[in-house]
Structures are given as structure tokens and as C-alpha cells.
Amino acid sequence: MSIQNGCKEVSMSSKIARTILLTAVSAICAWASSSSMQPANAEIKYEKLVEINAEEMKGYLNYPNSGLSDFFHIVVKTGEAETGKAETPYEDLVACKVKSTGKAEIIACRRLAAFDFNDKQVKVKVKLSSQAQNDAQVRALAAAIPHLVLELFLKDNFVGGVYVPTGAYESFKSALATQGFTTSMKGSYSPRTSVTPLVLQSEPAARFDSLSYQPSLKK
């Protein structure tokens, strides 16, 4: 019994150590970004791929005096980074614009499977549909990213980067700022003030920004 408890304590301490390490890495990334340095994760070899894309739901919940608009069905799939294919459904989300706040929100989630991996280097790839209205689509996808990144971190994965199409890079950066992910650094980092790191990269590679979750700086 005491051995089991000891094991649990060791496991807990290693998780805390890992959390502190992740926090420190994110702080360094953010600092590096603000100093125009190459990101610390430039050489990451990804093991897992998480792909998200959005389909416009035309006419969805479109009734007089509706407080919701711009509905998107967001599909999240996972796969091996090596093959570059994500074919295992993970969850389906519904995102829309809440007219009273003017912001995109995830309003529904349907979990189709559990993440079947832990302790992996994960690449998050965002795909844009050419059919849908671009700005609304970007806002919907950006609203899904915090949920996804959080779930990956809670499974002890390391999210090396969120890759977005180069043409929509600035739109994504701006949309993520409304979700609380900004490059600005205020205050000191500690597990209490909580920093969830996120490296936004364009694909093909040209630009990157190290962002962190700072809700007080939400636009």
C-alpha cells in the first residue's frame, strides 16, 4: 500500500515537474518571439497530427429575432504525423457568432472518441474550406482551438504548433487574441497565474508567433 502511495506521489511530482517545465518553455518561446528569435520548437519531430476544419451550416437556426448567426460544424480528427493523414474522428463541434457579444463561441460538442495518446509531440493543423465565408470561418475555428489545446495539454501532450494557412495567418492571430491568446507578456509566470502556451505558425512556413493565454488582455 505504501509502495503504491509512493508511486502515486512520484507520478504526481513528475506531472507537476512537467507542468512547470512546459510553463517555462512557453515563457521562453514567448520571450523569444517578442525578441524576434527562432522558436524553440523549430526542430520538433511531430508524432501525432490533429486536424480541424469547418463546414458552414447555411440556414441553421435561422429564425426571426435569433441571437445567433454564422454557424459552423467543426470536425476534429486525429492521425499519425508521419503519414500526414488525420482520419480518426475525435469530436464534432458547433460554433457560431453570439450577436450580443459579437464573438464566436463553441456552443455544442459531441465527443466521438477519447484521445488515445499521451506524452506525444502534437501538430495541430487547421484547414480552411474555400466554400465558406473566410472571416466567420476563421473566428469559428479560432474558438475551437483553446478547447483542443487544453485537452491535449491535459493528456500530457506537447502542442508544438498550430499551423494555419499563410493567407489567413493575420486573421487567425487576431481571432485568437479575442479568445485570450496574445503575444503580450504581462506579470510573471507561475503555475498560479497560469500560462497555456500556443505557437501559431503559417504553412508553408514563413511566420510564427508564440502566444499565451492571458484573458485579461482579451480584445
Question: Which residues contribute to the site for other proteins (CB under 8 A)?
Answer: 12, 15-16, 19-20, 22-23, 57, 59-68, 73, 89, 92-94, 98, 100, 105-114, 146-147, 150-151, 153-154, 180, 191-196, 213, 215
Element of type H or E holding 89:
strand 85-98
The nearer residue to other proteins, 146 or 165, going by C-beta atoms, is: 146
Please say whether the beta carbons of 156 and 82 come within 8 A: no
- Give 140 or 195: the residue with its C-beta nearer to other proteins: 195
CA distance 58 to 62: 9
- Is 108 or 205 the residue whose CB approaches other proteins more closely? 108
In this structure, are strands 48-56 and 121-127 parallel, antiparallel, or unpaired? parallel
The nearest distance, CB 187 to other proteins, in angstroms, is 12
Tell me whether residue 40 or residue 165 sits nearer to other proteins (CB atom): 40
CA dist 46 and 78 (Å) reads 13
Least distance (Å) from other proteins to the CB of residue 111?
5
- Whole-angstrom Cα Rg for the chain: 18
Distance CA 31, CA 12 (A): 29
Report the nearest approach of other proteins to the CB of residue 25 (Å). 11
